[in-house]
A and B are shown apart, each in its own frame.
Chain A
């Protein structure tokens, strides 16, 4: 068994991402340890989504290096496949497959990309539906579920790949206020299992509760990295102070 404590499972070094001549990431460096929960926040357009989308290579970075679980992400097919087997992602818009039942949404990945038998995939799906507390919805179509339920299905779909790392991109931003709680609860429970998590979210209560570290971004840069308590009570940078003040005044 390799030593899993104090080992960086995500290492980003001087990562640059451009769109045309616009710099979405201006040389970002960040290490995430195994089992660590990192919450990323910052103003709109600051590059939070770009950062976590580079981690599972939904966006290809232009320069700098990213290593996930010791594997260099160099754009080769092998590295892409391995990264996507090991890193789960939850999107703001859920992105469930609308033509497939909840169960089929969950079994597709395990069956097609992990090569599990249908039986095993179904058993796995039921286990994770139970975990996100909607075991009774397996046969429904996504559109028959509430937003909060859909997002929990999306979390279960990612977990069915049994990833080592979970990425969340504003998972509660598209939800009605009354269903945000149930999704956050699911995420807290996931954090308690020791999953390595990188979450983009503005849910500060959640961040306080689970984050080991806060990462504050602005204009394509990481401006501040701190433990949640100092970050929320006394942020060092002016930009973080401004951001938090505006966040709290709403």
Chain B
């Protein structure tokens, strides 16, 4: 196993994934210790070997679907919006820069929970439209996140040497082609770790959409707690659900970084 890692190359990545696995093991060890130390635990609520436990567990796991659907849709939209906000922010026109700046400052100032409430309860009334819980969640998360994506893109694009623009001009590339073929491919490689971070953040923030009734992981756990009265076990499962999700995603991001490096 470690042989493959050594071959697949940098030592740091092997060390990193060892670190990752180490911390996961440590976390699980703590959990089991806790379990052993107390007789307050009643794992029967989610014991898959019993019928009711299996039903409960399945109920909880179903939350993955919406957590993922919500986060993936929201991040896709927010990356595009973030880029569209970042580009005018880099223009030489003070007007365009101003618009970009105002957007970032405004959106960044609104707490995510407040954004969710406003988009779900306020926006439909203001715009005279109806929004499903899912789309309200997507819009709120994407809006909030887009300000941060814009800042990430701006920094990434600014980090590209100005010689790259000059070389592009010298072979008569248009602005769009310069961005598309020269600047963005290099910038995206550089900001990939930051984008990955942002996606992990998004996965966690999606739990807030539970307040408007979205049936994602957190909402499922809340609902089960109300009927089963075992918050300790159910929320512990919830913690583990997020942990597994985020470890998998962060491994995927690392893999992608290595592929594109």
> Which residue numbers of A lie inside 8 Å of B, CB to CB?
56, 58, 81, 84-85, 87-89, 91, 93, 95-100, 108-109, 112-114, 154, 157-158, 160-161
- Nearest-neighbour CB distance to chain A for B146, whole angstroms, equals 26
Give 21 A-B contacts (CB < 8 Å), ordered by A residue. Answer: A58-B166, A84-B171, A84-B172, A85-B172, A87-B170, A88-B170, A89-B166, A89-B170, A95-B163, A95-B167, A97-B167, A97-B186, A99-B189, A108-B173, A108-B181, A109-B171, A109-B172, A112-B173, A113-B173, A113-B174, A158-B170
The reply to whether A158 and B171 contact each other, CB–CB distance below 8 Å, is yes
- Nearest-neighbour CB distance to chain A for B159, whole angstroms, equals 13
The reply to whether B170 and A56 contact each other, CB–CB distance below 8 Å, is yes
How far is it, in angstroms, between the C-alpha of A109 and the C-alpha of B167 when the chains are bound? Answer: 10
> Which residue numbers of B lie inside 8 Å of A, CB to CB?
161, 163-164, 166-167, 169-174, 177, 181-182, 185-186, 189
Residues of A contacting B161 with CB < 8 Å?
Answer: 95
Residues of A contacting B164 with CB < 8 Å?
Answer: 95, 97
Contact with A84, one of B169, B181, B189 (Cβ below 8 angstroms):
B169
Chain B at the A interface: mostly helix, strand, loop or mixed?
helix
Residues of B contacting A154 with CB < 8 Å?
Answer: 167
New A-B pairs, 5, CB < 8 Å, besides A97-B164, A112-B181: A58-B169, A91-B170, A108-B171, A108-B181, A108-B182
- Nearest-neighbour CB distance to chain A for B178, whole angstroms, equals 9
Residues of B contacting A97 with CB < 8 Å?
Answer: 164, 167, 181-182, 186
- Nearest-neighbour CB distance to chain B for A198, whole angstroms, equals 14
How far is it, in angstroms, between the C-alpha of A138 and the C-alpha of B161 when the chains are bound? Answer: 24
Residues of B contacting A96 with CB < 8 Å?
Answer: 167
Residues of B contacting A109 with CB < 8 Å?
Answer: 171-173
- Given known contacts A93-B163, A97-B164, A99-B185, A113 and B177 CB-to-CB distance under 8 angstroms: yes
How far is it, in angstroms, between the C-alpha of A161 and the C-alpha of B172 when the chains are bound? Answer: 9
